[in-house]
Amino acid sequence: MKLNKAEKTGANTHELEILIEPAQLKDAISAVYRRDAKKYNVPGFRRGHAPRNLIEKMYGADVFHFDAVNDLFPQVYEEALKEASLEPISQPQVELDTISLDDGAVLKAVVIVAPQLEIGNYTGLEATRFVETVEDAVMDTELERMQERNARLLTREGPAQDGDIADLDYEGFSDGVPFDGGKGEHFKLTLGSGQFIPGFEEQVVGHTAGEEFDINVSFPEEYHAEDLAGKPVVFKIKLHEVQYKELPELDDEFAKDVSDFDTLDELKKDIRENLQKQLDEQADMEMENQLIEQIVETIEGEIPEVMYENRIDDMVRDFEFRLQQQGMNLETYMQFSGMDDAAFREGFKEQAEKQVKMRLALEAVVRLEGIVATEEDIEAEIARIAERFGMEADQVRNLMPSEQIAKDLAVNKAVDLVKEKAKVTDKPKEKEPAEGEKKAPAKKPAAKKAPAKKAAKTTKKADEKPEDAKAEAAVEQTEG
């Protein structure tokens, strides 16, 4: 391979001209012939035994050339990127310029790279940490969740009730004809969850296991399939089983069953401490976001649209995996939510754009401060991720390249630097008014110059670092 040219052609685009040299091309063509000769029928020869020159005579002299170039491309492209010191953020646009046995093949590839944005001030920023303490109502809710997780499922002998779990088969018909995506078998549906289109779950309530009945509903007017939008349909239902949850009593025995504690009071104390830790971490995360958003406001530079699309792809994959964990696939979810692919992806767009901008802003801080992660940092992080996910360190290394871990650690160090140099004020978090109560209007402040408009806050799990999210995604893809 020879890199003939590496030229910047736009703010974030480069064009590479890559030469596959004649000897390398000829070797690849020979390999393709040995692999694919059996695909070609030549009279007088058994498949796979015809001489190469006869196949080329019958099917064209270049019959194996293009597959040879395709086979070589990943290797020569990677080598060209390293030589040009480029890190692409998407698949390149590639065209084959010329090809011959004597001169080799010349490829042209248009590569999009991440931008190096200019940012304004990132030190001496101001932010508020809104602190709060765990309320008894939150404690009660967490205990109720623990009861739910440890509930027994019992068979409902009588009619199904709201909150029960129905095991059912369903098939949808429009004008007497089954429609695509409208069929399921032994689907576990929690009645009242709002998982299916309006009116469906309510019509299961009152029926008994073993019954077969019809449900009449209408698809939403904005449904993505035009032939079903706003149309009445009939679902044929077979109700196999109905179950309900029996919650355990909240007592010392419950504490012993679900934890390492001997008493309910000890369990409650541990829950309160963990909840308080989560609140504190969430307050820190929200404060960090305030600071980073201020840096985002100062961004100057062009961000390739593909970066937003890539982030949406990641979010869609994560959403789809979580649906699968709940026994549902994305197609069924979209069928019953009435969304098409475009509307579904649009729901992630705003958050994706914020996350991309925040990451790029922090990478700018990394660049300006010369922040790097040491080998010790990387090894410690690999050990931390391995422990969190119950993996061997080598498994983490195989799933997550050290270069990516180093980048994430550098970004985390940039966050720490911004916080260290910021002025942070603690303030009690204002409680949300109870249902039915009205929030007291704030006093009108004196007129003053309007501040620069801030980007909306980007939220994420308080206890999740960027590299944790990547590790989790990698583990999920492996397990899936």
The pLDDT tens digits for 170-191 are 999 999 999 988 899 999 999 9
pLDDT at 3: 96
Q: DSSP letters of 66-126?
A: HHHHHHHHHHHHHHHHHHHT--BSSPPEEEEEEEETTTEEEEEEEEEB----B----SS-E
Q: What is the pLDDT of residues 187-224, one digit of tens each?
A: 999 999 988 888 999 999 999 999 999 999 998 887 77
Bridge partners (DSSP) listed for residue 215: 235
Q: Give the whole-angstrom CA distance, residue 398 versus residue 97.
A: 36
Bridge partners (DSSP) listed for residue 229: none
Domains of the chain: 2-112 (3.30.70.1050), 126-135+258-437+448-479 (1.10.3120.10), 152-246 (3.10.50.40)
Helix (H) or strand (E) holding 167: strand 165-174
For 280, the token pair is 């504190």
Q: Give the whole-angstrom CA distance, residue 52 versus residue 33.
A: 7
pLDDT at 366: 97
Residues 6+ apart with CB under 8 A from 463: 278, 281
pLDDT at 393: 92
Q: Give the whole-angstrom CA distance, residue 10 versus residue 302.
A: 10
pLDDT at 467: 47
Mean pLDDT for back-to-back runs of 10 residues, the chain (480 residues): 95 96 96 94 91 94 96 97 94 96 96 95 96 94 93 94 95 91 91 90 96 93 80 95 94 94 96 96 96 96 95 94 85 80 92 96 97 95 93 92 94 97 94 58 39 34 45 47
Q: DSSP letters of 366-405?
A: HHHHT----HHHHHHHHHHHHHHHT--HHHHHHHS-HHHH
Half-sphere exposure of residue 27: CA atoms within 13 angstroms, side-chain side: 7
Q: DSSP letters of 209-225?
A: TT-EEEEEEE--TT-SS
Q: Can you say how many angstroms the Cα of residue 394 is from the centroid of all Cα atoms in its chain?
A: 24
Residues 6+ apart with CB under 8 A from 104: 19, 20, 21, 22, 24, 25
Q: Give the whole-angstrom CA distance, residue 145 versus residue 347.
A: 28
pLDDT at 220: 85
List Cα–Cα distances, 345 to 44, 308, 398, in angstroms: 56, 11, 30
Which of these, 368, 367, 369, 353, lies nearest to 296 by C-alpha position? 353
